[in-house]
Structure 1
Amino acid sequence: MRRLARVAAVLAVVAAMLGVPAAAYAATYNVRSYGATGDGSTDDTPAINAAITAANSAGGGTVQFPSGNYKSKHTIHLKSNVTLQLDAGSTIQGSSADTYDAPESNPNDSFQDYGHSHFHNAMIYGDRLTNVGITGSGTIDGAGNLITGNPGSGEADKILSLTRCDGLRLDGVTFRRGGHFAILTNNCNNITSDHLHIDTAGDRDGWNVISASNVTVTNADIAANDDALVFKSDYALGAKLPNGHVTVTDSHLSAQCCNALMFGSETCGDFTDYNFQRITITGADKSGLGMVSMDGANISDVHYRDITMTGVRSPIMQKIGTRKRCGNSPGVGHISNITYDNITATGAGPSFSPTIWGESGGNRISDVHFTNVHITVPGGNGTMDTGVPSNDPNNYNPNSIGTRPAYGWYVHNAHDITWTNSSVEFASGDGRPAVIANGAANLTFDGFTAERTASGPYDMGFQAVSGYCVKNSQNTAGGALRVNADSASSQNCSTSTGVDYQAENCTVFHGTVDADHSGFTGTGFVNGTNEVGAYVECAVTAAAAGSVPVTVRYANGTTTARPMSITVNGAAATSPTFAGTGNWDTWATTTFTANLNAGTNLIRLTSTTANGGPNLDRITVG
């Protein structure tokens, strides 16, 4: 044993003289040579730590675990320039002896929960290390002895706990039954991981990557009970630390109770430059793809591509909260420049609608783009009030927001959001609209498909939305989408001409042109008679055949909806309900998609009840 150490030390000196990295001559240190038995009952921790110390003292090396069961009744102390190599058939086992290192004191304990605040009480621990790794095809197993809550004296609540490290490699090994965390890394940078396996579905978290930069994870397989793979930035080390330049590809994640792929909830430092590609998620009782800024962080430049999700209760959720649980008086965070491409999700019940929830003013979520994003939710809800649901700004979970009034997308306090060639559907009938946006600006739905609700008043609702556009869109049966916008909303399809046709200039059957209510455009509005069959028919012109948005501006001063049927060139297009607008001086809009021929087209709006239709101001094509 001493001879091996001396040989390694000589090689390190020679390497230094020749200017060659010591790792090129790193020796292998077999734990059995240092007294480990691998019999599954003897405490092999002293031998393991002796081998690690020898490798470190020699300038670096590989600590080898041949096949066997190595009981670790005390904390293993990892050191710089040391790689633990677990051969096939080898297992490092946790212990119930309650003799692990005690948790260290932390003056920043109040800014995050206990498990995040203490690091020493782990099976394997290291601080301020460089160039360390755990590789091979063996297993590290807590064996049901690690604590999922706050540990008592001598108890450990995590397998691997590393802080302030630079250069970490995790390849091939399996982490099983990790307690609170299978892996907790805080301010560890330059991490690479390939074919990592984590099975802690009966315990809690898989891997918490906290305050990390330059991380590459490939071919991971993580099955957790709590969060599977989560990126956080807390205040446990007494500073707001940066995060970013992260890539995760070709991986499988599942989370029984919580989040599969998540940002937060601890979000002190900023996050930027994240890429997630070719990931399969099979279950998440909270978010499949979750992103929250609760403690002042700015999250930006995050990109999801080629991701399939099944069994997720909240397929996609973004939220800005105001918890501010971070040192140095944090403000409110931001979320911006996020893309989702080629995403397919099937929800599980009870479900939470896909949600974008920002804060008001300068803290609205912005610049988020969905392309080929197709979501199927369980459905099964009835109609409900379409007002803004309740929200707990200190809670990051999907249930912190009340039942969304849309079965599909609910958007609140956001701007510059686009959906391209995307869709929402339900497995069981639902009475809510597919989309509701509130307090937003510049929302574009291009090539959007939504399943129509049998009992819902419309398919897409815009409430105080400045600049919305629905174009080239339809329901799943190929019909026009029913769009409802309140008087505080405005349409803005930037690629269209937006030609106005005043109702008073169209053909009017059983109605009058009046001007006794304020707020109309043009010279007046059409007041149809109170009967079935009264109509307004406008001749509109299209330069080329195609689908275009058509917006109807109307007023209904009653509390009873005044439905009309709309035909385009004699073919049924849609049947909006034209709900009450509060009074006859308050105007609202509803938008649908019309398939127009090149040249002249006839759009007719016909009342379908004895109450007649609403007052019609104009229709806008494009």
Structure 2
Amino acid sequence: MSQEPRQAPGPDDGDRTVGDPCYGRRGFLVAGSAVAAGLFFSGGTAPAAAVEAGEPAGSAAAAEKAADDQVARILRRIRAPRFPDRWFDITRYGAVGDDATDCTAAIRAAIRACHEAGGGHVLVPAGDFRTGAIHLLSGVDLHLAEGSRLAFSQDPAAYLPVVPTRYEGTECYNYSALVYAYRQRDIAVTGAGVLDGRADATHWWDWTGGPPPNESPDKTLLLTMAADGVPVEQRVFGAGHYLRPNLLQFNRCENVLLDGITVKDSPMWNIHPVLCRNVTVRRVVVDSPHGPNNDGIDPESCTDVLIEGCTISTGDDCIAFKAGKDADGRRVNVPTRYAVVRDCEMADGNGGVTIGSETTGGVSDVFVRDCRMSSPRLERAIRIKSNPQRGGTIANFDVRRVTVGQAADSVVEIVLNYANVTAGDFPPDLHGITISHLTAAGAPRALNLLGLATDPLRDIRLHACRLDGMEEENSIQYVERLRLDQVWINGVRVDN
């Protein structure tokens, strides 16, 4: 960005004077090669559609076409798995939908029979089926009929023995996810039924704080093991430890489909594909707004991901793209790349669509289209978070046609001081962020952009965006080449 602040062009220039040179309601603070800005505009009226582009129209159109072409290439590669027309009803293997009988063995037997027959559908009919851990095998679609509910045990022992997993970006052996697959291909969970994790204040969620037992010592131990290079096989948790499992985790799998199901009240993250390829999450409802760290959908170190038509309300981020954490993330060093999110609705959550905070392997080529986000408990709509201990390249994140009703903090937040960490040997390389055709109706502020003095954010572009009902000044510090093009805040054009 230019070292000199420049007002947005247009007939109202006379009303857009630079105020206080240090931090004005209509001014910039310039420091070295990075820019810190405070922008807050009120009053005035913007036209229904912004005109007079701040850059050549062909340039914006060419960039949008290039992004559309890349989305098309990604979508051509993603193919949902298909299954033979064989059906294995779990009630034929002894399951009883009375909300009392333990159906774990029956469900496992049906999955094994389906797999050994060459694949097909394991049917969960209408009813309430109590179960422990469910492990999917290749070729199996776990299909939940309308009116069915898998009610997962609240006993941690039901998720033993331990399995290879990733806990907040670090590999270990821990409790199985409630639905789990490891090194399988062509697997699915489909239908109109419900997967109920049954976590609450006295089961699973109570491990997050307060008096012991809680997860804090185990989280510290796991990170120390990873930093010290302890082999993954020796990082064994599970019984006697307090690292919560995910509701659904698919680890090192290929050709994964989730379609139509409702998931609720997970012990931790709800849907967590990790180190997977070709993942489709379609028409899924995530109803988990009350639990701690109850992220909705968290693809981690995955390639070719489609998330579409989902409705998400969580106690943490709605969708979060991740790629491993710190020392262990550098050891594995696998990025998340080539992902499309489209036609989704987000309500409660810390972020609508998020990258991070586990960014160590890198996250790139993520495209968000035609999503709607609004809740008094939605903190941010678009969020990127990392810090100089995480590292990784975060690039080519392209957001278009997002409608935000209400947000509780910033509409767009991109920060490199996550968890108040501002020093480290692995600063992220964050650049190439484009947000276009985004509208917002109300929030405390439009933008919270915070790089570091030694590691600025670079090449962030907002195009054809309108943000109304903003109550406070933007917070913009240590950003290079921030481009505002046809951007209106509270009715005033703020192009630079």
Q: 2:415 aligns with which of 314, 319, 323?
A: 319
Structure-2 separation of matches of 1:106 and 1:78: 14
C-alpha deviation, 1:144, in angstroms: 3.7
The aligned runs of 1:123-522 (5 Å cut-off) are 123-144=178-199, 147-148=204-205, 149=208, 153=239, 157-203=245-291, 204-235=294-325, 238-256=331-349, 258-283=350-375, 284-294=377-387, 295-312=390-407, 313-321=409-417, 331-348=426-443, 351=444, 354-361=447-454, 363-379=455-471, 407-425=472-490, 449=493, 470=496
Structure-2 separation of matches of 1:67 and 1:367: 52
C-alpha deviation, 1:105, in angstroms: 8.4
- Describe the SS at the equivalent of 1:413: strand
Using structure 2 for the length normalisation, give the TM-score.
0.69
Q: Which amino acid aligns with 2:91?
A: R
The answer as to whether partners of 1:347 and 1:377 remain within 8 angstroms in 2 is yes
Identify the structure with the greater helix proportion: 2
TM-aligned CA distance change 1:122 to 1:352, over 3 Å:
same
TM-aligned CA distance change 1:408 to 1:304, over 3 Å:
farther
TM-aligned CA distance change 1:106 to 1:62, over 3 Å:
closer
Identify the structure with the greater strand proportion: 1
Structure-1 separation of matches of 2:186 and 2:174: 19
Determine the structure 2 residue equivalent to 1:60.
119
Structure-1 separation of matches of 2:161 and 2:347: 30
Structure-1 separation of matches of 2:134 and 2:182: 12
Structure-2 separation of matches of 1:107 and 1:61: 26
C-alpha deviation, 1:254, in angstroms: 2.1
The answer as to whether partners of 2:347 and 2:378 remain within 8 angstroms in 1 is no
Structure-2 separation of matches of 1:138 and 1:353: 38
Structure of higher CA gyration radius: 1
Q: Which amino acid aligns with 2:467?
A: I
Structure-1 separation of matches of 2:262 and 2:103: 19
Determine the structure 2 residue equivalent to 1:494.
none
Q: Give % identity.
A: 23
Q: Which amino acid aligns with 1:147?
A: W
C-alpha deviation, 1:117, in angstroms: 5.5
C-alpha deviation, 1:291, in angstroms: 0.9
* TM-superposition CA deviations, 1:382-434 (whole Å, max 9, x none): xxxxxxxxxxxxxxxxxxxxxxxxx34333222222112111129xxxxxxxx
Whether 2:134 is the aligned partner of 1:41: answer no
TM-aligned CA distance change 1:186 to 1:320, over 3 Å:
same
Structure-2 separation of matches of 1:107 and 1:63: 24
* TM-superposition CA deviations, 1:121-144 (whole Å, max 9, x none): 332122111111001111111234
Structure-1 separation of matches of 2:452 and 2:188: 42
* TM-superposition CA deviations, 1:131-183 (whole Å, max 9, x none): 11001111111234552335784986432122111111000010011121222
Structure-1 separation of matches of 2:297 and 2:481: 33
Structure-2 separation of matches of 1:95 and 1:107: 20
TM-aligned CA distance change 1:343 to 1:119, over 3 Å:
farther
Greater relative CO (CA pairs within 8 A, separation 6+): 2
TM-aligned CA distance change 1:25 to 1:169, over 3 Å:
closer
Q: Which amino acid aligns with 1:247?
A: V
- Describe the SS at the equivalent of 2:299: strand
C-alpha deviation, 1:71, in angstroms: 0.6
Structure-1 separation of matches of 2:380 and 2:174: 27
Structure-2 separation of matches of 1:95 and 1:108: 21
Count residues in correspondence. 372
The aligned runs of 1:14-25 (5 Å cut-off) are 25=84
Using structure 1 for the length normalisation, give the TM-score.
0.55
Structure-2 separation of matches of 1:137 and 1:288: 28
The aligned runs of 1:448-597 (5 Å cut-off) are 449=493, 470=496
The answer as to whether partners of 2:360 and 2:391 remain within 8 angstroms in 1 is yes
- Structure 2 residue ranges without an equivalent (≥5): 1-80, 209-213, 216-237
The answer as to whether partners of 2:90 and 2:107 remain within 8 angstroms in 1 is yes
* TM-superposition CA deviations, 1:438-468 (whole Å, max 9, x none): xxxxxxxxxx626xxxxxxxxxxxxxxxxxx
- Describe the SS at the equivalent of 1:181: coil
Structure-2 separation of matches of 1:314 and 1:54: 51
C-alpha deviation, 1:87, in angstroms: 0.8
TM-aligned CA distance change 1:333 to 1:322, over 3 Å:
farther
C-alpha deviation, 1:364, in angstroms: 2.1
